[in-house]
Structure 1
Amino acid sequence: MKKLTLLIAAAGLLQACGNKGPAYDATGTFEADEVIVSAEVAGKILWMPIEEGQTIAQDSVVVKIDAGNLALQKAQIEASANALQQKTNDVQPQLKLLQEQLQVQQAQMATLEKEKRRFEALVKADAATPKQLDDIVAQINVLQQQMLVTRQQMNVQQSTVGTANRSILSEQAPLTKRADIIADQINRSNVINPINGTVLLKYANAGEVVGAGKALYKIADLSNLQLRAYITGDQLSQIKLGQQVKVLVDDGKKNYKTYSGAIIWIADKAEFTPKTIQTKDERANLVYAIKVLVPNDGYLKIGQYGEVDW
């Protein structure tokens, strides 16, 4: 009878040990890099066909915000820029008039030069007086001065009109930049999904009016989750970056599901033990946080507990 009692006690002890589960070196919860996507311009949401739990591809347009007002602003700025050309002065009519005047003076100069040569010949032949030749030379000098003034008037006219036009057209560059800024805002009215991931939360719906910076939805890549766990200083020397470890997750049947993971981050400073985290050495007051990257087969969830064994 005594032998039978010992056998039953031994069997109970073995069963209790079997239900205790596997040992682990650290424990923590799963998390992911969550991205909150916000509106970059204010307006009414015209289109937002996403739902929580939906997987969205990177660079896809997921939200459209009404940009009609921005389009009108851009058109107004472009019209103002185009109107500047009509405000500029055309220097060609004035230049044409002065060029015609110069051509007449050049024709007169040619005639006077011819007369000068004729009178020089007559003076040599004593058929004309030197005074007549001097009068011709004086007329040539006066005409040369007139031609010089005409050329100066042409230069002044070009410079004056050019300066005035540059002053008017100097407003075109700022207007163009303003139009470019509005065009960029119009492009930003189409919200582009930044990563491949699953929508975790929606903060807005189609038909709502949102302001710039308003959160629209939260998304995260759940294909790989990070187990954030805590270790003691004694365990710190046992791990390194890139080290392969086992991650154990309770499958709800008093058993554990095993995953392979890799340590991708080790804190460089110790911190006080979080209340929700247990470590192998419960007496430790300071612990180091680590992150283990674990491929997700769909069963791992954000906030779920996991245990690390190396």
Structure 2
Amino acid sequence: MRLDKTQLIAAAAVVALVAGGVWAWHTFSGGNALPEGLIQANGRIEGDHTTVASKLAGRIAKLEVREGATVTAGQVLARLEDTQLTARQQQADAAVATLAAQLQAARSQLDIARREVPLAEASADAVVAKARAAEAQAARDAKRFDELAARGTVEPRRAEQTRLALTAASADLRQAEQAASSSRLGRDKVRARENDIAALEAGLRQAQAASKEVASLVDDLTLRAPAGGVVLSRLRDTGEVVAAGAPIFDIVDLDKLYLKVYVPEKQIGLVRLGLPAQVYTDAYPGQTFAATIRYVASQAEFTPKEVQTPDERVKLSYAVRLYFDTNPDHRLTPGVPADAVIRWKDGVPWQAPRW
């Protein structure tokens, strides 16, 4: 049976009407939407930024890395000129070496004095004891001979000789006692040496602290990466003079990346911290990356133009950060666009986003 022109036009109109109805159903009734329990969103991968700056002002002598370089924690990024501080370091080290040598010599002298002083005192005490005994004997002899001379038993000359011997013995005793007293002054000299050593030790500690401080300043002229990551920006060039605290590098830690997405206002009530998510990227088709919601904005904002939403009429949305559980082989990098599916109801099977 052949259809006339009027019937063909009517049939075409019916087909167009049905197709339009299907399109409207998909567009306005959520035909492309994910099942209940899942929310789709998209955005760009970002990360926690670390600004690397110098503690000191100075001229950049050398930059070791460029933008896009992957660095590890502790890796040298840049060096500032260190001529002046190196000279101060040498002076400080020389002062430490001098004081250390003086202290060592003083300690050696003190050790010798501590050994010699007791020996000298003992020797002086022995001489005093001997002189005191000799004086006592001379006194007894002088008394006896005086008595004998008075009775006429011995000549007066002998008695006079014994008195002279007593005088000499007394003089020897006084000399020995003076020597013993002088030997005891050695203890004062030991204490004086101990005080000198204490002063040298204090000076050495001060010099060592000064040397350590300068060494720390020299070390601060070498800029190192505080954590592993990627150099996003190199803000200065070799030869530039930078002020203390001026940023030189901007680094993002590849182990702390997140996908920043925008959830429409009508769906934000379903989102909460700790919800799991799956992230999809065009760079790794067929591979998903597990993530967890760690941040939900408290205020809505206008949806950025580059961000898709299921309903383009939605103007207000909330920023949500999906932190990646892991970043295998550091495949993910900042700036990469990605899609995400957030599961807010347990047990719902994962599905890829539908845009």
The two structures have a TM-score, normalised by structure 1, of: 0.71
What's 1:208 paired with? 240
Q: Which deviates more from structure 2 when the two are superposed, residues 184-193 or residues 230-239?
A: 230-239
Q: Percent identity?
A: 17
Give unmatched runs, 5+ long, in structure 1.
Answer: none
What's 2:159 paired with? none
**C-alpha separation between the residues in 2 aligned to 1:224 and 1:156?**
68
What's 2:76 paired with? 61
**C-alpha separation between the residues in 2 aligned to 1:165 and 1:158?**
10
Query: Partner amino acid for 2:240?
Result: E
Answer whether contact 2:52 2:247 (CA < 8 A) is retained: yes
Q: Does the C-alpha gap of structure 1 residues 127 and 173 become closer, same or farther in structure 2, counting only changes over 3 Å?
A: same
Answer whether contact 2:227 2:253 (CA < 8 A) is retained: yes
Match of 1:226 among 243, 258, 261: 258
**C-alpha separation between the residues in 2 aligned to 1:92 and 1:244?**
74
**C-alpha separation between the residues in 2 aligned to 1:303 and 1:276?**
18
What's 2:335 paired with? 302
What's 1:292 paired with? 322
Shift of 1:179: 0.4
1:81 is the counterpart of 2:96: yes
What's 2:158 paired with? none
Answer whether contact 2:47 2:334 (CA < 8 A) is retained: no
Q: Does the C-alpha gap of structure 1 residues 222 and 97 become closer, same or farther in structure 2, counting only changes over 3 Å?
A: closer
Answer whether contact 1:112 1:136 (CA < 8 A) is retained: no
Match of 2:14 among 6, 22, 33: 6
1:172-220 CA-to-partner distances (Å, cap 9, x unmatched) read: 2122101001112222222222222221111112222323322111111
What's 2:302 paired with? 275
**C-alpha separation between the residues in 2 aligned to 1:271 and 1:10?**
43
Give unmatched runs, 5+ long, in structure 2.
Answer: 1-7, 148-161, 344-355
Match of 2:128 among 109, 117, 120: 109
What's 1:194 paired with? 226
What's 1:44 paired with? 59
SS of equivalent residue, structure 1 residue 172: helix
Q: Which deviates more from structure 2 when the two are superposed, residues 202-211 or residues 289-298?
A: 289-298
Shift of 1:283: 8.4
Match of 2:291 among 257, 262, 265: 262
Answer whether contact 1:198 1:220 (CA < 8 A) is retained: yes
SS of equivalent residue, structure 1 residue 221: strand
The two structures have a TM-score, normalised by structure 2, of: 0.63
Shift of 1:167: 3.2
Match of 1:34 among 38, 43, 49: 49
Answer whether contact 1:42 1:209 (CA < 8 A) is retained: yes
**C-alpha separation between the residues in 2 aligned to 1:213 and 1:237?**
43
Query: Partner amino acid for 2:294?
Result: W
**C-alpha separation between the residues in 2 aligned to 1:6 and 1:198?**
58
What are the residue-to-residue correspondences of 1:166-177 with 2, within 5 Å? Answer: 166-177=198-209
Shift of 1:160: 3.1
1:37-56 CA-to-partner distances (Å, cap 9, x unmatched) read: 11233333222132212222
Shift of 1:99: 8.9
Query: Partner amino acid for 1:30?
Result: I
Match of 2:85 among 70, 90, 100: 70
Q: Which structure: larger Rg?
A: 2
**C-alpha separation between the residues in 2 aligned to 1:106 and 1:301?**
89
Aligned length, in residue pairs:
301
Answer whether contact 1:30 1:306 (CA < 8 A) is retained: no
Shift of 1:70: 1.0
